[in-house]
Amino acid sequence: SGNDPHRQAQAIFSELSKKRFILLLDDMWEKLDLVKVGIPSPKNANVNGKILFTTRSKQVCNQMDADGRVEVSFLDDKGSWMLFQSKLSTETVPNGGDIQQLAKLVVARCGGLP
């Protein structure tokens, strides 16, 4: 049937094995068994694909057998505010006033995460 997870995984594997691909997995909290869901391993010489994932967990990196890691540091208060401002126009967050105070609260709430 079309809802059989094993058949779906086989179909995904069959298609991806024929193509170049990049798979992006964002904010992973636990290991994903790529083979179980039909994702061919880029470590296989016959596979022309890359997998990029983000996680806050070094354990997940280890479990997923990541080839490389890029650690993103927390920003300090000034860096956080500068990044926030760089993404908005001065009309959106004018200097001074209630809107800027609220914007700074939002930035602080992010805790330095870019």
Residues 59 and 82 in one domain: no
**What's the structural domain count of the chain?**
2
Residues 50 and 11 in one domain: yes
Whole domain around residue 54: which residue ranges?
Answer: 5-63
Residues 19 and 53 in one domain: yes
Contacts of 104 (CB under 8 A, 6+ apart): 81
The mean pLDDT value for 57-64 works out to 92
The reported pTM is: 0.62
Residues 34 and 57 in one domain: yes
Number of other residues whose CB lies within 10 A of the CB of residue 55: 19
The mean pLDDT value for 85-106 works out to 78
Q: Phi, psi (5° rounding) for residue 76?
A: -75, 175
Is residue 9 a part of any domain in this protein?
Answer: yes
Residues 15 and 59 in one domain: yes
Is residue 37 a part of any domain in this protein?
Answer: yes
